[in-house]
Amino acid sequence: MNNLIKTIKSTVADNPQLPFSVYASIKEQNLLNVPVVKPLLIAVLDGDKELGKKGEITCTAGDFIFLSNSPAINMRNIPKGKEYFALLVEFELQDFEGLKISALNKQNYCIGEITPTLKNCLQQFVEWSVWAPKALWPIRRKEIIQLMCHMGHTEILAMVANPNIGHKLHSLISEQPSEDLPMQRLCEQLAMSESTLRRKLKIEGTTVQDIKDQVKLGLGLHLLQTTDDPIGFIAEKCGYQSQSRFTDRFKGRFGLTPSELRKTRMTD
């Protein structure tokens, strides 16, 4: 895995916009209520990853976990030796077009080994991303899905669902996370009345405010994990007028402050 880690680090250092993310830490991270909005592949390349309230799911270095969308899941990233290091690839609905989606045997996750073939595929994906235009990203993501199915992990095809109202609302808010979009504009974009929107979201077990928090705090978590931007700048980018307000909401959701999370990525 060392060559793949080295390639990823050099690629991330030189390219701000990529079709994947990297989460790394040198100290243990305990994160509560992490939102997973789209199907997500996490390739653990160093350290261990535990998921669930009591760490029921464990991935060690050399394993992957494929997650379906979930409003909240607890995660624990555990460095072993040097660091915790994971490659994350988020998939869009269009990446599954043309594949036989199954509603049978629906699971929330799939765990497997990063075989030499899958490792080479991920290595090529990372190297290719340096020069490939964004319009081609879905093609290479689909290749990863097809390879995983060929390896026998066809259950990932049961982890895809047509977007509901919550997903659509999440996408709208994600386009302008720094703004507090009024209900009227959201309803206009979704072509429905406020009462209808609230009713449909209630059926899905969520609210407009829940989704706004999910978008803004999820973005904050991502930026804290993947950039060195000042916390105040991140707060503003996520639509919070003050760093203290962002810190309070962040801790309320994830169980630690932005400063505490950032320290897990830094040496003493």
For the chain, list the domains and their CATH numbers.
2-158 (2.60.120.280), 165-263 (1.10.10.60)
pLDDT of 52 reads 92
Q: Specify the 3-state DSSP secondary structure of 53.
A: coil
Report the C-alpha gap between 212 and 261 in whole angstroms. 22
Report the C-alpha gap between 67 and 156 in whole angstroms. 8
Output helix, strand, coil percentages for the chain, rounded to the nearest 5: 45, 20, 35
- Nearest CA to 201 among 179, 186, 216? 186
Report the C-alpha gap between 68 and 238 in whole angstroms. 24
Report the C-alpha gap between 62 and 47 in whole angstroms. 9
- At 160, list the tokens: 């895809």
Over residues 27-64, the pLDDT tens digits come to: 999 999 999 989 999 999 999 999 998 889 999 999 99
Over residues 101-158, the pLDDT tens digits come to: 665 556 789 999 999 999 999 999 999 998 999 999 999 999 999 999 999 999 898 8
- At 32, list the tokens: 């509560």
Report the C-alpha gap between 181 and 212 in whole angstroms. 9
When pLDDT is cut at 50, 70 and 90, the band that residue 266 belongs to is confident
Q: Specify the 3-state DSSP secondary structure of 154.
A: helix
- At 179, list the tokens: 């703004």
Over residues 19-36, the pLDDT tens digits come to: 999 999 999 999 999 999
Report the C-alpha gap between 214 and 205 in whole angstroms. 14
Residue spans of alpha helices (H) in the chain: 2-14, 116-128, 137-150, 165-175, 183-190, 194-203, 208-226, 231-237, 243-254, 258-263
pTM confidence score: 0.93
**Are the C-beta atoms of 65 and 110 separated by less than 8 Å?**
yes
Report the C-alpha gap between 101 and 96 in whole angstroms. 8
